[in-house]
Structure 1
């Protein structure tokens, strides 16, 4: 297992693809791990060295006391890049990963070549949404995570996709059921507190915004809000719910590769 030793624990990562190729960092959504990108790996590793990692509180990475912040998660990415001696990279993040991408592009612009923001927003949800979820997960522990697993299917996938692809759905939602309740709750707080609506104009990296037409969490309207404020940003919309990389599959991968190679 490959890890970078942070001050408070180990951050798990995988680096795959041709040595010397441009680096593409992939950042997972809340409640998943680096394997949420499995469907993209064949396409992405043709042209890029792909650096996947488990965000703090997820997968095989460290779980520390919360609450976390998106800045903290962003600094974990910078520590990972420094550890691997990567001066610059493309960055693709989905949902919470997209918030991390926004923080990096605003606060460490010299490290980001091109930016892909998937199924995300400059501000996701409200305290009225997040606080009961945090309290419920901390009180209910592993059982609460299993309950979230079932509730998340309708947010993450459209009904027709979930019915037709039970294996793919189970692969993804199984990650949520295995996520640390403490790590999940700490990252819920990070998402709750992040708000980049007034800072989007500072992003100068070429940016692609990916939306899902059936996404009930971060809607195409959220995507258009970001596009209007990030100079030159492109936007693509797929028939998908919140996890467009899984549901749109090859079409998602092709569009991202086209953008990164432009």
Structure 2
């Protein structure tokens, strides 16, 4: 178990693979912890340095009082990468992690040489939809949204497997303060203008059955970035790294090879 003290925020992370290899940093989705990437990490080349972490308010990282700002989440990722002495990483961000990727790429070009925007967008939802989510979870807990979230997260095939119960439990065990704090960060984020200024190599990944960030929304964000590539994973939901890990890892490996990161 690795904990980094980032200006008082004790952040849980993992650092796998070759410590001298080219770095890939993973930022996970709302309501999950770094185990989101387990199936993909095992399928990537061992020559890479693979870093993942629990964002504030999630997993084993400190829970601060909400609301959180997207700027704070971006600064957390920046501080961890600096702490680990990493330069020129590929940043893989899923959902809220993809918003962090976009913001960090604008802020620190020296840290991010390429990015993977997975199941995300330059703007996700509206202030009202996120406020409704915050109010519901704060009042009624995760049981009030868990079934709906599972339908958005996973494709139909995966939802028929026993593993679904483990992911429902992961959501239910996240700290409510951390969850609603990150909801507030998403609600306040609109990166259309800044993301359109980016020119770094970018791969956008979407799941055909994603009920949170549908393929057209992901494609629209990819089109903001000159030269960005778009990949649709059929049968996958909002977290294709879980329900389609083989295809996800293959897609990621191909991109890393094409940009010379492997």
TM-score, length basis structure 2:
0.94
Task: List alignment gaps of at least 5 residues for structure 1.
Answer: none
Q: d(CA) in 1 for partners of 2:223 and 2:41?
A: 30
Match of 1:228 among 223, 232, 255: 223
Match of 1:162 among 159, 162, 186: 159
Q: d(CA) in 2 for partners of 1:188 and 1:217?
A: 13
Task: List alignment gaps of at least 5 residues for structure 2.
Answer: none
Q: Can you list the C-alpha shifts for 1:194-249, whole angstroms capped at 9, x where unaligned?
A: 11112222212200000111112111111221122101000000121111111221
Change over 3 Å in CA distance of 1:176–1:45 after alignment to 2: farther
Q: Which residue of 2 aligns with 1:243?
A: 239
Q: Which residue of 2 aligns with 1:208?
A: 203
Q: Which residue of 1 aligns with 2:48?
A: 48
Give 1:37 shift. 0.5
Q: Which residue of 2 aligns with 1:185?
A: 180
Q: Can you list the C-alpha shifts for 1:43-87, whole angstroms capped at 9, x where unaligned?
A: 225231110100101000011111112221111111111111112
Q: d(CA) in 1 for partners of 2:166 and 2:200?
A: 33
Q: d(CA) in 1 for partners of 2:19 and 2:132?
A: 45
Secondary structure of the equivalent of 2:43?
helix
Counterparts of 1:1-262 in structure 2 under 5 Å?
A: 1-140=1-140, 144-163=141-160, 165-167=161-163, 169-239=164-234, 240-262=236-258
Larger helix fraction of residues: 1
Q: Can you list the C-alpha shifts for 1:143-190, whole angstroms capped at 9, x where unaligned?
A: x12333222111111223211x222x2232221111000000000000
TM-score, length basis structure 1:
0.94
Q: d(CA) in 2 for partners of 1:252 and 1:65?
A: 34
Secondary structure of the equivalent of 1:5?
strand
Q: Is the 8 A contact 1:26 1:52 kept in 2?
A: yes
Give 1:9 shift. 2.5
For this pair of structures, how many residues does the alignment match?
257
RMSD: 1.3
